[in-house]
Amino acid sequence: METNLIDGASNYCYLQKFRLYETRSNFYMIGRDKNRTLCKVLKIDRLEPSELVVLEDSTTYSESECVDLLRRIHEGNKSTGGLKFVTICYGIVGFIKFLGPHYMLLITKRRKIGAICGHTVYSITKSEMIPIPNSTVQSNMTNSKNENRYKKLLCTVDLTRDFFFSYSYHVMHSLQKNLSCNETGQGHYESMFVWNEFLTRGIRNNLKNTLWTVALVYGFFKQVKLSVSGRELKLALIARRSRHYAGTRYLKRGVNEKGRVANDVETEQIMFEDVPEEQPVQISSVVQNRGSIPLFWSQETSRLNIKPDIMLSRKDQNFEATKLHFENLVKRYGSPIIILNLIKSREKKPRETILRAEFANAIRFINKSLPEENRLKFLHWDLHKHSRKATNVLALLGRVASYALNLTGIFYCQVMPSSSSKGLLNGSCFEERDGDYSLENPSSDNVSKLDSEIAKAECDANQNQSINVPMFQSGVLRTNCIDCLDRTNVAQYAYGLVALGHQLHALGYMESPSIDLDNPLAEDLMRIYETMGDTLALQYGGSAAHNKIFSERRGQWKAATQSQEFFRTLQRYYSNAYMDAEKQDAINVFLGHFQPQQGKPALWELDSDQHCDVGRRGPDLVENARSFIKRSLSDGNLRCENESPVAANIGYSKPMSEKEGGVNNGLSDSNPEISTCESDISYSRYTPSMPCRKLFKDVEEYQCFESNHICYDEHGDACSCSNFLDMDRLSTSGNSCEEDLCDRSSAGLSSENLGNDVKIETTISAGESGSSLKGRSQTGSSDDLAGGFPDRFVQWVMSEEMLFH
């Protein structure tokens, strides 16, 4: 974004409204800027049956010149029908080819859903897919059965739900990255959060610009107005879902060989003043992350078992993929990386506890090779045990959030309207002050000194705040449970509430950086996080989130809460067992992980490679047709025979074992191969650390001690008291309420022996990546499989509504 956050909408040319015309031989797209002061022309060849030929006119036209150009094109094509208007559109989503012609995906209706300092953010309300060649040159494959099935499959990716974009603000990046790094051009599309990177790759590489396309982010965007002490401000909550290793609940689990994890979502909470555009704007943001446990593990979809076995692979003895994952987090967010692990610590039959133990082993193994200051900080917390008292859960989570936030800090700055058009991205738009802006991280290793260091840091932060010194976040809190949906969302809300207090304090709206759970702001924020949790759960899990703790906090009738949780469990089960396979296929086509080719097996004829040597193969598996083609679980490895992976190789500029130097100034969310920008300015951020005894009361200063079910564990060289925290027992359930329901209902839903709940796999081949698409013998399309259910039940699942009202 080569613009100032405030002035950018008027100072920089970008196209945001388009008109599409056609002749027999070409499509003509006319792009206009917001003020209709200039026009550009794009020509797309319609006589080429299989190749995509796109040409951009280098001339910039005025409105009148563009009208004259269209008139002359019409006159020159009168013999073949002239120039015809097709549609108004608001950007190109991309181009795609199956077995026949290329298709163009267009946004034909949009809706404003928010604005960040004058930069509008839109969602899509209508889209169209238009074939490029005219009917006279289309091949026989255009209307073939497989071609139509691929088109129908792609259309199941509903662009009108949970996709958003902006013309002038790089919504795929965090605010801190947008303000700190001067990244331009196509590099933004390489971000892990741009879902149409593959669809736009051809036109971007051809034209060497991104004027005609929009970068779509998938996840959640919600903006609201808040009032604090009679003053207005805006809050934007953004969740960005990674396109790497993307998919559905049981078909994408754990990590792949590239260190990408399933259900990887970055959440950003932005606060800024609601002031006129000509005034300076104070703005603050904080980023947190969620993602599947970065081990090779899986669960096989089963129609008979509502709680499938967890299968853990031992193929990565040195935890190389796990290490790659955390190296990527360090590159994106800086240090420290704080891991909050919410899965169960005790079970009658080991399931989650197997992953818990292996995850702890992985962190200890990785920390052995890291200098002490760069070690991962690992917090165990069983959310299940204490979930019966919502207030206690949120209060305790709030103390953990304070601990993490004091280590990472928040981002804050004051954006000046007079900043240059490029100042936003290289830091020059920050109000300059004399002196050193950096604030040393207080040591958390020496418990006896932490109280005085916190007091000093708080004093420094208050002094800095009075002169509007910018603060920067370095490091991130990474939260996980099993699905990273229900329990994780509760923890992220608790972190967001603590962060909100710090943000309001930094903006000068509150004297103290703390917000009580009874404050009306806490209720407002809870509703937003609850909506986000439902949205993310529908995307990955197939139902809204289990919000038992939120419901109890609001005093909702317990019977109503239990009924809601039960039906959401059924909805999730049905979606996972009967609908996720087709949904996963659609995602793979949309992201380019599978590209159809004539003469090769179709996507729906292929078997999943997760189930090889792990799960059961169906009796109807056609070995000869599928033995050499497998659908890979890692992004870019889903390909036809003899094709190279789509995704580029990953390169890390600095391994985790090296000591960090300088300042991480990005909160970068792009691919690791895109280097993090550096800046000469000095950064300041409020990063006091919290002593263990202040985080949790009555905790004594021992190397290994326990109080109130919280254990700080010392494991020799593997970890220290400051970075290995075993906070024993607290959870909303295995999959929130779902786990409890499963425990009571699994006997009636499964004809299999549930005693063998966990399988540890030791002989998986190196070609497998540990998460799945689907086993064709067990899953199919919803049309084929809905026959065993009442029509009303199927309609309920498809519409994602309550069965009874």
Q: If you average pLDDT over residues 544-553, what whole number do you get? A: 70
Residue 730: pLDDT above 70? no
pLDDT of the residue at 198: 97
Least confident of 60-74, 387-401, 567-581: 567-581
pLDDT range class, residue 142, cuts 50, 70, 90: confident
pLDDT of the residue at 315: 83
What distance in Å separates the CA atoms of residue 350 and residue 784, rounded to the nearest whole number? 35
Q: If you average pLDDT over residues 261-276, what whole number do you get? A: 93
pLDDT range class, residue 349, cuts 50, 70, 90: confident
Least confident of 355-359, 402-406, 699-703: 699-703
- The count of C-alpha atoms lying within 13 angstroms of the C-alpha of 242, restricted to the half-sphere facing its C-beta, is 25
Identify the burial level of 623 via C-beta atoms within 10 angstroms of its C-beta, where 0-12 means exposed, 13-18 middle and 19 or more buried. exposed
For the chain, the average pLDDT equals 74
pLDDT range class, residue 681, cuts 50, 70, 90: very low
Tokens encoding 106: 């267009």
Residue 692: pLDDT above 80? no
pTM of the complete model = 0.74
pLDDT range class, residue 367, cuts 50, 70, 90: very high
Asked if 308 contacts 250 with a C-beta cutoff of 8 angstroms, the reply is yes
Q: CA of 663: how far to CAs of 197, 244, 725, in Å? A: 29, 27, 26
What distance in Å separates the CA atoms of residue 84 and residue 92, rounded to the nearest whole number? 19
Asked if 151 contacts 163 with a C-beta cutoff of 8 angstroms, the reply is no
- Backbone angles phi and psi of 22, in degrees to 5: -140, 145
pLDDT range class, residue 101, cuts 50, 70, 90: very high
Residue 703: pLDDT above 50? no
pLDDT of the residue at 568: 74
Higher-pLDDT residue of 42 and 2 is 42
Higher-pLDDT residue of 82 and 748 is 82
| Tokens 């169209």 belong to residue | 128
pLDDT in tens, 659-672: 444 444 445 444 44
Higher-pLDDT residue of 264 and 462 is 264
| Tokens 């300088």 belong to residue | 662
DSSP annotation of 659:
P
Q: Which of 214-223, 340-349, 567-576, 719-728 has the highest mean pLDDT?
A: 214-223
Q: Which of 7-16, 188-197, 427-436, 779-788 has the highest mean pLDDT?
A: 188-197
Higher-pLDDT residue of 120 and 386 is 120
Residue 758: pLDDT above 80? no
In the beta sheet, which residues pair with residue 235? 224, 271
Return the CA Rg of the chain.
27
Query: What percentage of the chain exceeds 70 in pLDDT?
Result: 64
Least confident of 161-170, 195-204, 508-517, 639-648: 639-648
Query: What percentage of the chain exceeds 90 in pLDDT?
Result: 47
Asked if 679 contacts 472 with a C-beta cutoff of 8 angstroms, the reply is no
pLDDT in tens, 410-426: 999 988 765 433 334 33
pLDDT range class, residue 169, cuts 50, 70, 90: very high
Q: CA of 340: how far to CAs of 81, 106, 321, 382, 621, in Å? A: 65, 41, 19, 10, 41
Asked if 758 contacts 295 with a C-beta cutoff of 8 angstroms, the reply is no
Residue 264: pLDDT above 80? yes
| Tokens 């967010």 belong to residue | 333
What distance in Å separates the CA atoms of residue 121 and residue 169, rounded to the nearest whole number? 8
Residue 493: pLDDT above 80? yes
Residue 783: pLDDT above 60? no
pLDDT of the residue at 401: 95
What distance in Å separates the CA atoms of residue 319 and residue 179, rounded to the nearest whole number? 35
pLDDT range class, residue 788, cuts 50, 70, 90: low
Asked if 355 contacts 293 with a C-beta cutoff of 8 angstroms, the reply is yes
Q: Which of 66-80, 137-151, 748-762 has the highest mean pLDDT?
A: 66-80
Least confident of 496-500, 669-673, 720-724: 669-673
pLDDT of the residue at 670: 41
Q: If you average pLDDT over residues 754-777, what whole number do you get? A: 37
pLDDT in tens, 457-481: 445 444 444 447 899 999 999 999 9
| Tokens 């497989």 belong to residue | 146
Nearest to 290 by CA among 121, 647, 541: 541
3-class SS of residue 163: strand
pLDDT of the residue at 12: 53
Asked if 436 contacts 23 with a C-beta cutoff of 8 angstroms, the reply is no
pLDDT of the residue at 725: 60
Asked if 253 contacts 771 with a C-beta cutoff of 8 angstroms, the reply is yes
DSSP annotation of 613:
T
pLDDT of the residue at 742: 44
pLDDT of the residue at 746: 39
pLDDT of the residue at 230: 85
pLDDT of the residue at 639: 36
3-class SS of residue 615: coil
Q: Which H, E and C letters describe 39-74, residue by residue?
A: EEEEEEECCCCCCCCEEECCCCECHHHHHHHHHHHH
